[in-house]
Amino acid sequence: MKLGIIGATGHMGLAITKSISNNKSFSHSDIMLSNASGNFSVLSEFPNLKSTTDNNVLLDFSDVIILACRPSDVSQLNLDFENKLIISVLAGATIESLIQALSSDHIVRAMPNLAAEFQVSFTPYLLSDNCNDSDKEIAERILNAIGESHCVSTEEEFNKITAISGAGPGYFAFILDQFIEASIEQGIDRETAKKACIQTFYGCGELFKHGCDSPAEVVTNMTRYKGVTAMGVEQLRLIPIKDIFSKVIQAAFKKANSNMQR
Ligand SMILES: NC(=O)c1ccc[n+]([C@@H]2O[C@H](COP(=O)([O-])OP(=O)(O)OC[C@H]3O[C@@H](n4cnc5c(N)ncnc54)[C@H](OP(=O)(O)O)[C@@H]3O)[C@@H](O)[C@H]2O)c1
């Protein structure tokens, strides 16, 4: 399979390019990158990737294309994708709008987050009606190379998960920042507070990834005795955190819906 990545050196395009290039199941000579500027500094890390600023060259080369430019760049592409399989990560661009804009009805709409660079994105994806089993298999192979993919069946479901996992790194970064600031307020120096909070956050993620699959169970176990954690969690229980997260997700979902180009 020959893979083309349009917009390969932008924030998201580069995260995907690096992740896929680090995955041993993809041959570098089967990957072509394109961008607008011709600046491909990623080639110093992966010299066997092909590159071009001419998207027609990329189109001729590729069986599958990842579209990672900005939505506003799409009208300037002026390409006939000839029913090639396209995996779009464009925020707001629905399957219907992509079919119209790209002259292909083999479209996968995907929403990775920036953790794609470290192969840990959670990526919902939606297939156009004409996608077959082989298209789905290819999409999963590519999206699983940047983390964990999850197939959804409607644009609505796609937007709901986008409000959770697409925007999620922003929510957790916000919480982490507050955790750090609160630790500093207790007299811990900034450097130590930052390290302690980030490592605890990361360690907790690893815990759930590799062992425990029930956060509620962990809370129960850790608060069974009226120890240090129980005292902290008691304070958390005073705040309606679930209601707050409902509002956060609803607001992001509303925005994702209103951004849709049909
Ligand atoms: N950033 C995120 O966290 C995130 C998350 C999910 C989805 N997305 C989606 O990912 C897409 C890219 O976002 P971004 O933040 O990565 O934007 P970005 O950093 O501005 O990257 C845009 C890329 O498109 C390239 N480009 C522009 N015109 C082109 C053309 N005619 N042919 C080929 N390449 C072209 C640019 O080339 P140069 O490098 O040469 O300028 C650049 O590599 C957007 O559609 C966005 O909705 C982003």
* pLDDT 10s digits, 103-158: 899 999 999 998 999 999 999 999 999 999 999 999 999 999 999 999 999 999 99
Q: Whose CA is nearest to atom 19 of ligand 1?
A: 10
* pLDDT of the residue at 262: 58
Backbone angles phi, psi at 249, to 5 degrees: -70, -40
- One domain for residues 122 and 195: no
Which of the listed residues 9, 67, 70 should we mutate to test ligand 1's pocket, taking the one with most ligand atoms within 8 A of CB? 70
Cβ density class 37-70: b for 16+ within 10 Å, e for less: eeebebeeebeebbbbeebeebbebbebbbbbbe
Which residues of the chain fall below pLDDT 50? none
Number of the ligand 1 atom closest to the C-alpha atom of 37? 40
- Which residue carries 């709901």 as its tokens? 160
Statement to judge: residues 27 and 142 lie in one domain: yes
Could you tell me if 81 and 128 lie in one domain?
yes
Q: Are residues 16 and 145 in the same domain?
A: yes
Based on the domain organization, do 116 and 144 belong to the same domain? yes
Strand partners, 93: 261
Q: Identity (one letter) of the amino acid at 229?
A: T
> Ligand 1: residues whose CB is within 6 Å?
6-7, 9-13, 34-37, 39, 55, 68-71, 73, 76-77, 89-91, 111-114, 166
Q: From 152, 185, 213, give the residue that closes a domain.
A: 152
Q: What is the pTM of this model?
A: 0.94
Instruction: Identify the residue whose C-alpha is closest to ligand 1 atom 15.
Output: 11
144 lies in the same domain as 219:
no
